[in-house]
Structure 1
Amino acid sequence: MKPIQSVMITGANAGLGREAARQLAMRNGIEKIYLACRNQEKADAAKAALEAETGKRIFEVIPMDVSSPMSVRAAVGKMAAPVDALILNAGGTGGKTPHALTQVGVTHIFAANVLGHVVLVDELLERQLITSTVLYAGSEAARGIPKMGVAKPDMRTSSTEEFVSIADGSKFGPKADPLDIYGTIKLTAAMWMGAMARQHPHIRFVTMSPGGTTGTNGMDDLPFLKKVFFKYVGGTLMPLFGMMHSVETGAKRYVEGLLNDRFESGHFYASREGSPTGPVVDQAKIDASLANTQFQDNAFQAVRRFAA
């Protein structure tokens, strides 16, 4: 594996992205960290705080809204030097209008979690601006977490058309719960990553779930009662039952997935079966369909329809 000296992190101004930036800055050999964020003011504040906390002046803000392919392409167009590694961390539950369609025909929740990252990787590869590793923030929701009431995604055929229906929201309808959609979207991305690993063998493509993590901002746009439960009540109680862990622990998964070559390209790593915390394992050992290359290629073909 090529030594990693520079890293770009999407959604890096808060939560897991910011903590991953802090942890990477403390690793020997990391010389540059790009904070790709949609809000300039929050990004600048995060940069200043990270410099104060780490004593390093290696952070640079890149304005980028991953829910907008135009914003992503504009940001990459301004890059003067390649980056060794990329952490695709930005996402969430799609804002106030998760089911609304963007100009390219995907839902807001799909755009934020998947499409913008697909465009980002494509642009970096086309311009030869990525040299080593792409890490996508997966989720145990992609194979279900029964203990937390998160059902396994209802995939009937895993055809290209079914993955298209996930992207444009027609699989779910306009009143579906964003939390129910989230796992299916994360599954789509994990399958896309598997296809990318086979198509670009010179780059590592690792899907790594940060696990059930307290204090993240991904739930901020949920309905009030659900937000209160997942961010505050659940964030206090669930760690006591081993159902959540700290942001530091979640971000450490990113860092290890990025820097430790025992995590193989094309594989999806997350917690053991039935849990959102604890040691990570290859998820194909839990659900063999995750390693199905035809399903992976179908997901790839589906997202290509919107990323062109």
Structure 2
Amino acid sequence: MEKRTVIITGGNSGLGYQCAKNIAKSDPGYHIILACRNAKKADMAAETLKVETNNLNISTMDLDLASLSSIRMFYQAFSRADLPPLYAVVCNAGIGAGGVPGQVYTKDGIEMIFGVNHLGHFLLTNLLLNRMGKNGRIVFVSSDMHEPPAFLRIKVRYENARAISAAKPGILQYGTSKLCNLYCSYEMARLIETKTDRKITVNAFNPGAMSDTNFVRVEGSALLQGILRVFSRIMNHIVGKPSTSIKSGAALASLVTEASFDTMSGKYVDRGEITKSSTLSYSKDNARELWKTSMELSQLRISETIFENEN
């Protein structure tokens, strides 16, 4: 295989780490970039991955998805780097329903969960599309929680992007951000197909409820954290979609590496199985409103995208 670069946001642990591991092992031609906020943890993960995969083409780059300027600096640094052509971007990093203690808003004044889970990845992928050739793959990690199970008595709705960007953090905001990941996936896939001659695919991925990650965290004693882990495992089985980062990481990696996904775009993949997302997620009006407002919120100019001058 020709040499290719794959960027994985938040690839230093959990789902992103397992995804990186599977891609790196699949072919030495892949150069993996772990794009992370914590440089120390990213560097440690990269060194461990090299040992585990025998692939030395694993490096790290600083990226804070809660900062629009950091995203632009990442893009500029990547554009200057001497790396193989960009082939794939895996938008894996995310903020859970608990948010970030003491940080309700991003550096640009956007609610943190929406700002990181959707808006940061929106800006990042639109910029990076400029670095891709005629073929490539983009994957947004969504969640079952874009349509919460009925017993949680939480209903995700869509008002408008500006209202969401100023909403309160919590489980409802998390679910809404995952709905936005789907809107972004479907709209980007549509725009690439209708406004360009490129064959870049864009899909959304559901990892299921993973019992072995630290994605859901609380502040407190080891006992309290242990109780939460047990509760999470029970909830995973009640929801009916238990998984692990190892299983879901392999399925996520396949969206980058497998030939069977060469031409598939605008789909929702539940751990390897193509399925339907919620009825609400297919609203084209909502997707277009989110796209338009996200351009304004992220200060992304149409001239910076691949959609201005093609076709």
TM-score, with length taken from structure 1: 0.82
**What SS does structure 1 have at the residue aligned with 2:209?**
coil
Q: Does 1:190 align with 2:191?
A: no
Contact conserved, 1:133 with 1:204, CA < 8 A, in 2? yes
What is the CA deviation profile of residues 71-103 of structure 1, one whole-angstrom value per residue up to 9, with x for unaligned ones?
A: 1111110123441001000002231145x2334
Q: For residues 283 and 14 of structure 2, what CA distance do their matches in structure 1 show?
A: 32
Q: Does 1:146 align with 2:150?
A: yes
**2:214 aligned partner, one-letter code:** N
Contact conserved, 2:114 with 2:173, CA < 8 A, in 1? no
Q: State the percentage of identical aligned residues.
A: 24
Contact conserved, 2:143 with 2:205, CA < 8 A, in 1? yes
User: Greater shift after overlay, 28-37 or 137-146?
Assistant: 28-37
Unaligned 5+ residue runs, structure 2?
Answer: 300-311
| Equivalent position of 2:242 in the other structure | 244
Q: Does 1:296 align with 2:287?
A: yes
**2:264 aligned partner, one-letter code:** E
Q: Does 1:280 align with 2:273?
A: yes
**1:15 aligned partner, one-letter code:** G
Q: Does 1:216 align with 2:213?
A: yes
Q: For residues 113 and 135 of structure 2, what CA distance do their matches in structure 1 show?
A: 29
Contact conserved, 2:75 with 2:124, CA < 8 A, in 1? yes
Q: For residues 187 and 71 of structure 2, what CA distance do their matches in structure 1 show?
A: 22
Contact conserved, 1:76 with 1:124, CA < 8 A, in 2? yes
Distance change (3 Å), C-alpha of 1:198 and 1:235: same
| Equivalent position of 2:27 in the other structure | 28
What is the CA deviation profile of residues 179-221 of structure 1, one whole-angstrom value per residue up to 9, with x for unaligned ones?
A: 221011110121022111111232211111111112223222x
Q: For residues 247 and 150 of structure 1, what CA distance do their matches in structure 2 show?
A: 27
**What SS does structure 1 have at the residue aligned with 2:225?**
helix
**1:91 aligned partner, one-letter code:** G
What is the CA deviation profile of residues 129-172 of structure 1, one whole-angstrom value per residue up to 9, with x for unaligned ones?
A: 7950110001011122235x2633133xx5xxx22211221xxx
Equivalent positions of 1:92-131 (< 5 A) are: 92-93=95-96, 94-97=99-102, 100-128=104-132, 131=135
Q: For residues 295 and 187 of structure 2, what CA distance do their matches in structure 1 show?
A: 12
**What SS does structure 1 have at the residue aligned with 2:154?**
coil
User: Greater shift after overlay, 237-246 or 129-138?
Assistant: 237-246
| Equivalent position of 1:234 in the other structure | 231
| Equivalent position of 1:165 in the other structure | 163
TM-score, with length taken from structure 2: 0.81
**2:64 aligned partner, one-letter code:** D
| Equivalent position of 1:15 in the other structure | 14
Distance change (3 Å), C-alpha of 1:303 and 1:97: farther
**What SS does structure 1 have at the residue aligned with 2:210?**
coil
| Equivalent position of 1:76 in the other structure | 75
Among residues 181, 186, 204, which one is paired with 2:201 in the alignment?
Answer: 204
**2:71 aligned partner, one-letter code:** V
**2:255 aligned partner, one-letter code:** G
Cα-Cα RMSD: 2.8
